[in-house]
Structure 1
Amino acid sequence: MQPITFTTPRTARYYLLGESGPAIQQVWFCLHGENQPVPELVAQLVALDTPERLLVLPEALSRYGLPSDGQGPRRIGADWFAVGDLMPDLTDLSNYLDSLAAEVLAACPPDVTITVLGCGHGGAAAARWLAGQRTHYDRLILYAAVFPPEIDRRATLKALPTRPVTVIATTIDSYKLEADGRALLDDLDEAGLPARLQYVSEGPVTLAALGSTTPLR
């Protein structure tokens, strides 16, 4: 017996830091990592919330409950990819993020600078989304990015438009080897993309480090 696919509308959730309007100069689309509740990513990015910057944090479509610590409300995680059969998820995430970007950007000035930030599996999701070349962006930040083995990383990177890429990695042993930035930088160079590598090595990696390691404009 084989599964049969069926396409149906989905209701997605996203968070905003900032408000759309004529004062917005920068829009950031920030994709969370595996098992990372979006509110926790929001908390790490609060330092980037300024009047001229709008941060958009979409939640992956596959939501699930995380183990409770016995304190506070239950934490909710979400995955960008299902194990074993990624193609439907890749199509869904591209359609979802293209539609969300179109709606958000329609309420912003036409000359805003667009940054896409992907953390962990969110880095692979961002690369696959942008490789479709239906949403314009100005730069991509891959933060400890992890590509599932089912995704051809080199082919995905070669499909990206020529835009600057910043790879942020860590030397902390607790992080997965796939997130090491050197191999990813080599693949980006092979794809002909202007890329640079930056390390964060003091303590656990936090996205708040973007405020000091990455130019904001």
Structure 2
Amino acid sequence: MTEHHLAVTRTARYYQLGQLSAATKRVWFVCHGYGQLAAYFSRHFAFITAADPATVVIAPEGLSRFYLTGNGGRVGASWMTRDDRLHEIDDHVNFLNQLADQVLALCAANVQVTVLGFSQGTATVSRWLTRAHFAPASLIVWAGSFPEDLAPAAAQRLLAGLSLTLVLGTEDQYISLLQMQKQQEQLQQLGATPKLITFAGKHEMNRAVLEALAGLGPAQGLS
């Protein structure tokens, strides 16, 4: 028995908050975590576009969906698993590049792009950005990890001059503060200057931190 692969066309889903136009000054691409759906994840960012019509938020959804419990009920999405992972990574990079090309073509050339990944989405956005067709202004790695398997040269090209922020809840049940601080040191060795923001909470998004990152609230907890 031999394994084969066939590239096919499929329909990907994403959600948009705000209206894209030549007047758009800021675009956020935000990628959800394991078992989430983009429709619900995007709601965390609704206040940003409501407060600033010049900002648009794009929330793509992982291509693999599954029932969270048993064979029915709530559905979640995933970016990848360890099975056939390299092809899944390629599929998502291609999806995100096509999406970004479409979105940014409707904006001015100097539009400022922020990319945020939450949990499993952090690895997805980091891998994507090493092969993206644009240079982001900032990257937010929230409750997740910058992938260690990226080629150092590719990682260094991405991180050079990039505004990089790491975010973590102090009670996160999946990643400890010590692990995040170690990651911060590793990123510094690659030439990055990552800031670390912590908040009182678990493996979750936090409104106050998002407000600060979006320039809509006081910057607190920076280190």
Common topology (TM > 0.5):
yes
Query: Structure 2: which 5+ residue stretches go unaligned?
Result: 217-223
Is the Cα contact below 8 Å between 1:198 and 1:213 reproduced in 2?
Answer: no
CA spacing shift, 1:178–1:64, aligned 2, 3 Å = farther
**Residue number in structure 1 paired with 2:199:** 200
Question: What amino acid is the match of 1:77?
Answer: G
Q: Hey, what does 1:157 align to over in structure 2? A: 155
Contact 1:147 1:178 in 2 (8 A): no
- Per the alignment, do residues 61 and 178 of structure 1 end up closer, same or farther by CA in structure 2, a change over 3 Å counting? farther
Shift of the alpha carbon at 1:190? 0.9
RMSD (Å), alpha carbons: 2.5
Aligned to 1:138: 137
Tell me, in whole angstroms, the C-alpha distance in 2 between the residues paired with 1:180 and 1:154. Answer: 21
| Contact kept? 1:121, 1:145, Cα under 8 Å | yes
Q: TM-score, normalised by structure 2?
A: 0.84
Q: Quick one: structure 1 residues 183 and 213, their matched pair in 2 at CA, closer, same or farther if it must change by over 3 Å?
A: farther
How many correspondences in the alignment?
211
- The answer to whether the 8 A contact 1:47-1:211 is kept is no
1:92-117 alpha-carbon deviations (Å, 9 max, x no partner): 11111111000001111221110000
Aligned partners of 2:64 and 2:79 also within 8 Å: yes
Identity %: 30
Unaligned residue ranges in structure 1 (runs of 5+): none
Deviations along 1:90-145, one digit per CA (max 9) or x if unpaired, are 11111111110000011112211100000001010000000114332111000001
Q: With CA pairs under 8 Å and 6+ residues apart, which has the higher RCO, 1 or 2?
A: 1
Distance apart, 1:180 and its partner CA: 3.9
Matching residue's letter, 1:7:
A
Map of 1:83-162 to 2, 5 A cutoff? 83-146=82-145, 152=149, 155=152, 157-162=155-160
- Cα distance in 2 for partners of 1:125, 1:207 equals 21
SS in 2 for 1:66: strand
